[in-house]
């Protein structure tokens, strides 16, 4: 099965959505990038402010969409300004990581003030397109309601 993959990296300031390593769409350093077979495609558009109200329907759909993603790998380091909270977080994370050794999740707590995360999550095309279809139908219904 060909999966959709969402990758993020806070050091590179990038986030991308890939499908079968053939087509990718992402943001890197504030620029929109679209690639086919790792060849950049010129992608020009005018930025337009979009205003929409956050309604319960949107939040419910977003949460149900997030539940479908499977975390493939994640690594990073996290730090808070308070050393006591860092110590508590360190204890919690070390306790959670000892429970499941087969996962590719490596999160550490440091005391140096360094924050960095990178990872990848995947979703099946069937679930992706089902949620996309539901969102489009919700937006069309709302647009129809505004016109009348």
**pLDDT at 102 (0 to 100):** 59
Low-confidence residues in the chain, pLDDT < 70: 1, 21, 43-54, 96-103
Residue with tokens 């993603």: 69
Residue 102's CB is within 10 A of a number of other CB atoms, namely 4
Closest CA to 79 of 10, 12, 28: 10
**pLDDT at 107 (0 to 100):** 79
Q: Which domain holds residue 54?
A: 4-147
Residues 102-144: pLDDT tens digits? 567 777 888 888 888 888 888 888 998 898 898 888 888 888 8
**pLDDT at 94 (0 to 100):** 75
Query: How many structural domains is the chain composed of?
Result: 1
**pLDDT at 100 (0 to 100):** 57
pTM above 0.75, yes or no: no
């Amino acid at each position: 099965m060909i999966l959709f993959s969402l990758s993020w990296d806070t050091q590179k300031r990038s986030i991308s959505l890939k499908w079968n390593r053939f087509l990718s769409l992402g943001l890197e350093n504030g620029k929109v990038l679209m690639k086919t077979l790792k060849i950049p495609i010129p992608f020009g558009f005018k930025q337009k402010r979009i205003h929409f109200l956050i309604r319960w329907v949107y939040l419910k759909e977003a949460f149900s969409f997030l539940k479908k993603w499977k975390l493939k790998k994640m690594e990073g380091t996290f730090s808070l300004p308070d050393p006591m909270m860092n110590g508590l977080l360190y204890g919690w994370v070390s306790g959670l990581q000892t429970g499941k050794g087969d996962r590719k999740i490596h999160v550490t707590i440091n005391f140096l003030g360094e924050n960095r995360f990178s990872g990848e999550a995947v979703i099946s095309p069937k679930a992706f397109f089902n949620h996309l279809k539901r969102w489009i139908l919700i937006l069309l219904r709302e647009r129809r309601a505004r016109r009348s």
